[in-house]
Amino acid sequence: MSGTKLLVFIFIPILWFSCSREKQPPNFVFILVDDLGWADVKCNYPESFYDTPNIDRLAENGVRFTQAYAANPVCSPTRAALMTGKHPNRVNITDWIPGLDPKNRLLLGPQDKNELALEEVTLAEKLKEAGYKTCFIGKWHLGDEGFFPEDQGFDINIGGHHRGSPPGGYYSPYKNPKLEDGPEGEYLTDRLTNESIRFIRESNGHPFLLYLAFYTVHTPIQASKKHIGKYRLKRENLALDSVLHKKEGDGWTKLVQENADFASMVAAMDENVGRVMEALRNQELDKNTWVIFTSDNGGLSTLTRENAPTSNGPLRAGKGWCYEGGIRVPLIIAGPDIEENGKVAEQPVISMDFYTTILDLAGIEHEKYDGESLLPVLTQNGNIGRDVLFWHFPHYHGSAWKPGSALREGDWKLVVYYEDSRMELFNLAADPGETTDLSAKLPQKTRELKKVLDNKLLESGAQFPVSNPAYQVEQ
């Protein structure tokens, strides 16, 4: 064979391989942190007590959304919205599973589902059908046996079962039926990351979805031994005589971040986000992988007692509440086609958008439910063309929340309570802390937004609480 023919023979396969690499579908790493508040990351809230250098670095290399929202102020409904692209009302999961459902209150909450129905088409199922390897690691909380991640489109399930908090705590033994115990002293957040890195390394060039749902920073608050010393010293340097709280309904909202144990959990999570990013670089996957980092609800700052784990900074209330502290969450998206690294996007976005966005990025046809594609914000200098978001939490919660709903239209925010039909109106542009109720001053605007909310609730199939006759008899 002549030298020229040999050169052509070698060149053609190399050229084909190069083209095939360029057309490789993108990978997705979805990192969901449990109960991480908007103000728990430094890039959102520079005054934060917590240091998050790896998350901040991710923001520098991606797009940080300052007005990102969870679909619900508690976990299971948001997780269902992430999986399906549907508002929680549509899948009839509107409370954490199984919820409190008290029988001694003025209202009885609606009976929602305790699992995500198998008939729902999940994000994992859509990607798997298109040839993706799908891996779920961490907290599931969308149903018991028969409704686990492996029943909903995931090839691999490590740690995902029906419990909403780690049954054995954050140190091995974990008492988790879907996670083998590690060596004594192993920290759960580290272990879940180890499993994630193993999956990344074994992907072998196959397109994948890694859904890493950390159990942290959910209770029980158990310090990371590696990081606790730094934050105990930092706490001492604050020289706090007492921790400030504010009355919120029948509860108390913490106004200061100072819990060293909680801070060490945030630090361990941040360190492990950095480890995942390093693994992508080491496998030369970082240039073709989209990374989405967010939370399932606001930080746990409000309880029926004082001294919750964290504070949501200037935002009102926390997990369980439809005020901003309960629903606004961190969101950072980084990927290969980002139009402007380090961009800060102020457009309101919500959990259902991820289903639409990921499938659009993967080039997979799909039904469009309640989510909008974020591609115009990520890959162009555009808008997503939506002005209304709404939340429905018709249940009592341990944070002292009472059944209600909320709606945001532009800068206006309406909060409705069902016990007494009370309505509150806020302008988030002028009052992001929701300190001044404008409903009495602007009754027409209040009625206008209530009508929009009513229509949204009706259209989405919302269920409502009803009067509790037993409670009335007791009184």
pLDDT at res. 22:
55
pLDDT at res. 385:
87
Q: Give a yes or no: residue 419 inside a domain.
A: no
Q: What is the pTM of this model?
A: 0.94
Q: Give a yes or no: residue 469 inside a domain.
A: no
Q: Give a yes or no: residue 468 inside a domain.
A: no
Checking if the pLDDT of 37 tops 60, the result is yes
Higher pLDDT among residues 241 and 192, named by residue: 192
Q: Give a yes or no: residue 35 inside a domain.
A: yes
For 424-434, how does the pLDDT look when each residue is reduced to its tens digit (9 = 90+)? 999 999 999 99
Q: Give a yes or no: residue 267 inside a domain.
A: yes
Residue 124: pLDDT band with limits 50, 70, 90 = very high
Residue 473: pLDDT band with limits 50, 70, 90 = low
Of 407, 342, 408, 406, the closest CA to residue 378 belongs to 342
List b or e across 170-196, with b for residues whose CB sees 16 or more CB atoms inside 10 angstroms.
bbbebebebbeebeeebbbbbbbbbbb
Q: Give a yes or no: residue 332 inside a domain.
A: yes
- Name the one residue in this structure whose structure tokens are 């290399």: 61
pLDDT at res. 87:
98
Residue 305 belongs to domain with CATH number: 3.40.720.10
Number of domains in the chain: 1
What is the span of the domain harbouring residue 346? 26-384
Checking if the pLDDT of 204 tops 60, the result is yes
pLDDT at res. 301:
98
For 151-191, how does the pLDDT look when each residue is reduced to its tens digit (9 = 90+)? 999 999 999 999 999 999 999 999 999 999 999 999 999 99
**Burial of 58 by CB count in 10 Å (0-12 exposed, 13-18 middle, 19+ buried)?**
buried
Q: Give a yes or no: residue 138 inside a domain.
A: yes
Mean pLDDT within 258-266? 98
Expressed in angstroms, the distance from the first to the final Cα of the chain is 99
